Each structure stands twice: as C-alpha cells, then as structure tokens.
Structure 1
Amino acid sequence: MFQEERLVAIVDFLKTNKRISVEQICALFDVSRDTARRDLVRLEEEKRIVRTRGGAILPSNPHEIKDYSNRLKIVSEEKSSIGKVAASLIYPNDRVILDVSTTVQSCAEHIKNIDCTVITNSINQAEILSSKSEIAIQLLGGKLQKEHKFLYGTSVIEKLSEYHVDKAFIGVAGISERGLTNALEEDGMVKRKMIQQANQVIVLADHTKLGKTHFFKFTDLQDIDLLITDKTPEKSFLDLLRKYNVELLIADIEDEGDE
C-alpha cells in the first residue's frame, strides 16, 4: 500500500474510532513503527490529525457553525457593543436591510423605535422588531433554513431586486484579503444580493473574524463601505482596509452599559 492510500485509511479509521495508536497502524497496514510515525507526522503537517502520546486523534472542527439558538446564548459583549454602534447609524425615514447574523441581531435589538423600514430574511430579526411600533418590517419570503431560522432561495433574491435601500447591515464568518466569507452558500447568495441593493454597505464583525477566510465568498472588500468591529486591527489589516477605501469604526465596549 502506498503512503497516500495509508493516510486516507488512517483518517477513515479515526472518523469511526476517534483515536488510533502507532501499534494499531503497524498492525492494520503491516508497517514498521518508524513508517507509522512518519505517516502521523505527515498527517499532522497537513493539519488532518492531532498527534497524541503514542498515536493520534482528529482535530476539533474550527469551522463548525453552531445552530442559531446556541449562537444566541453566546452573543458576546463585543457583539452587543458593535450592534449598538450600528443601530446608532439608522435614522428616521431610513430604509435598511438586516441579514441573519447574531451580530446584526444585536443591531436590531438596539434600534430605536423610529419611523424607518427594515427589510430582512431573518425570522429572529423580524420578531425582535415587531415590538417597535414605528418600524415597518418587510420579511422576505422563501425557503426556510430551519436550523438558523432564515429564508433563502430564488424568491428571496428576486424580491430583493425590487428594493433599493439606504444601508445594508451584513454579518460575516470571515473578512480578509480574499473577501467576505461565510459558512452557508444559500445565506451567502442572499447577502450578495443585499449588498447590491444598498447605497451603503456596513459590515459588523468582532475581532475574531478579521483576517479569517471561511467556506463561501459572497463579495469582495471593495464592495463594502464601513466595517464596525470591537478592537483596532493589526497594521496589515488596516492597510488592507485603506487599500479598498473601507472606513473603520471601533465600538467602545466600556460604553455598552450606558444608554
């Protein structure tokens, strides 16, 4: 058996059995301990395993996205402060789009009860805003993504094309030189259309998203106008924002309790 075949087999074994020892590799593939160790070194270099004393386990999945309800339980102080700053940019008579992210939900929670129009594909955002009598809500109809509670599909995108708004507030899983990315393609396709329909595109992202690239790219940095985050980024990231003429707002967490 060639090494590449062995490496695939080792990973498959781990998916079923959670861990593997050097002795098991030797027995399963009839190889020496030195060969087994070389296989583990190679897999570790490719970030496909985590080596342990005498063997290996699979790495935890850094890109696993918790369902919406679980993510709401861990909405951080940082996200709340970002949402508060974002909400302060919504004025009477504005027409705005809110996407489905938990950081944008923090924005919805902080919007004052003013005469404005909000377009969203998020069931949660619509529910939060429904208690604010002056805000008109347009909930986009489409196929329901049950786990994350948003509507998507051709009907959502077609309906979005009929609107033109002042501002779109967009959440991301990652923002880097490769553009804006998220975990779910169906969500990303809707975000892309939202961005196209807005005069000003405002991205809400806590510091853990900066410099990161996730699964699906839905737009480029040059397509956004303003980034709101909670910490001053590294110089290389600031240079990237300047290159694409993206303005930056830093939310002050210490002021979060002040209303």
Structure 2
Amino acid sequence: MYQEERLDAILDVMKTKKRITVDQICSLYQVSRDTARRDLVKLEEMKAVIRTRGGAILPSAHQEIKDYSNRLKHVSEEKKRIGQKAASLIRPGDRIILDASTTVQSCAESLQEENCTVITNSIHQAGILSAKRGVRIHLLGGELQKEHGFLYGAQVLDKLTQYHADKAFIGLVGLSEKGLTIAHEEDGMVKKSMIEQANQVIVLADHSKLHVTDFFTFAHLEEIDMVITDREPDAAILNMLDSHQVELLIADTEETK
C-alpha cells in the first residue's frame, strides 16, 4: 500500500473512531512504528489531524459564524416557518423582547400590525419593525457590534434590568445538554439578561442547532419555557426538554402558506 492510500485509509478510520494510535496503524497496515509516525506527521502537515502522545486525534470542527448580512442570504425556509410560528404567539398589548438573531428577525418580519411594545438590541429588528405602525420600539443603546448589528455592553445590560416583558424570543447557535450556547460572549451576556427580564422565554432553533454546543453558555434548559423548531427532534432532545418541563412547538409546512 502506497503512503497516499494509507493516509486515506487512516482518515477513514478516524472519521468513525475520532482517534488512532501508532500501534493501531502498525497492526492495520502492517507497517513499522517509524512509518506510522511519518504518516501522522504527514497528516498533521496537511492539517487533517492533531498528533498526540502515541497517536492522533481529529481536530475540532467549529462552524464559522458568518456576519449578519451573509447569514441573511442563507435564511432558510425552516427559519421563516419558525419565525411565523413565533409571531403567531404575540398578542395585542404584549411587551416582548427580541434578540439579534436571524431566526428572531423572521419573527419580526412576520409580526402583524399588533399593538405591542418591542425591546431589542438589534438595529435590524428595529429597522424592520419601524415600518409597522402598531409597534412601539425601545432600542437598547450601547456599543455597536458592526458585523452582526447588535448593541451590547454595560449600558445595554443596565437598561434591560429596568424592563419587564411578557415574552422573550431568543435565538442561538446550539442547544444541547450543556444548555443554550452562542459564539460571542458579549451577545450571550445580553441574551442572559433578556431571559431574566421576561415572564416567558421562547427559544427559536431550527433542527441544525440541536445537539450543538458552541463557545459560550448563556442559559440552561430550566431557564426557558418553550422551544420552536422545524421538525420533530430525536428522542434524546425530547427527553431532555420533557425533563426540564420545556414545551415544544413544531413549525410544520402545512401550517404556513
């Protein structure tokens, strides 16, 4: 077996096992320890593995978080359905909090001319809602995160403590046994405060966010009341939500036009 063939075979094994040892390479491909080590050096040079003592592991795969305008180009039909479902929960007179996620933006876009009050740290949500005559907008002031279009910092957190909302609609990067996670800590701190100021916390998460853990945990499952997603989750997620008494709503295609 040539080295190129062996390298492909090693990576195939690691896709399943996530790691491999020098001894395993020797046994699987009938090569010396020196040859096995050279194979791992080559794979590391290719940035395909990370060498460890006695073997190698696969590098962690981190999903790139695109800036807001790029994420908007990829707003899926699933997110639109979730946004429509979320907007259907808003009643006249409600005081609601909307965070800066693109899924929550779908909620803002779907919101009818309701007589309601919106508190947000998103310049995008504020711009969309400014065209809806029945909606009063409180835009939280602070430092602007230009790439993603949200305001954050001590001023935002302090101002949030003065508001008391009926519902908070929160987006995320991941929902797992680790809780609700996001890529940016400053964004997570604002979400955390939003959750604390709402009577009902509604998380908007398409199926790709389930079983995902990102950099910063901003809340745990016992802190939320409802998850809206686009398809029936697996048993592990269902059990996890049930054990924390989190209600689940599915935004089915049949419910939207």
TM-score w.r.t. the length of structure 1 is 0.80
Equivalent residue number for residue 36 of structure 1: 38
Q: Deviations over 1:4-48 (max 9, x none)?
A: xxxxxxxxxxxxxxxxxxxxxxxxxxx954322144486275222
Where structure 2 has 5 or more consecutive residues not aligned to the other structure, the ranges are 1-32
Matched, 1:232 2:232: yes
Identity %: 59
Where structure 1 has 5 or more consecutive residues not aligned to the other structure, the ranges are 1-30, 49-58
Q: Secondary structure at the match of 1:119?
A: strand
Q: Secondary structure at the match of 1:118?
A: strand
Matched, 1:245 2:241: no
Equivalent residue number for residue 7 of structure 2: none
How many positions carry a matched residue from both structures?
216
- Distance in 2 (CA, whole Å) between partners of 1:125 and 1:118 is 9
Equivalent residue number for residue 47 of structure 1: 58
Equivalent residue number for residue 178 of structure 1: 178
- Distance in 1 (CA, whole Å) between partners of 2:57 and 2:139 is 44
**How does 1:188-227 map onto structure 2 within 5 Å?**
188-227=188-227
TM-score w.r.t. the length of structure 2 is 0.81
Shift of 1:63: 1.9
Give yes or no for contact 1:143–1:153 (8 Å, CA) kept in 2: yes
- Distance in 2 (CA, whole Å) between partners of 1:248 and 1:35 is 50
Q: Secondary structure at the match of 2:50?
A: helix
Q: Secondary structure at the match of 1:211?
A: coil
Equivalent residue number for residue 115 of structure 2: 115
Give yes or no for contact 1:80–1:256 (8 Å, CA) kept in 2: no
- Higher mean displacement: 192-201 or 245-254: 245-254
Q: Deviations over 1:107-140 (max 9, x none)?
A: 0000111110000000000000000011000000
Shift of 1:254: 3.5
Q: Deviations over 1:157-198 (max 9, x none)?
A: 000000000000000100011100000000000000000000
- Distance in 2 (CA, whole Å) between partners of 1:212 and 1:138 is 32
Equivalent residue number for residue 11 of structure 1: none
**How does 1:8-87 map onto structure 2 within 5 Å?**
32-39=34-41, 40=43, 43=50, 45-48=56-59, 62-87=62-87
Shift of 1:213: 0.5
Shift of 1:255: 3.3
- Distance in 1 (CA, whole Å) between partners of 2:183 and 2:117 is 28
- Distance in 1 (CA, whole Å) between partners of 2:83 and 2:111 is 9
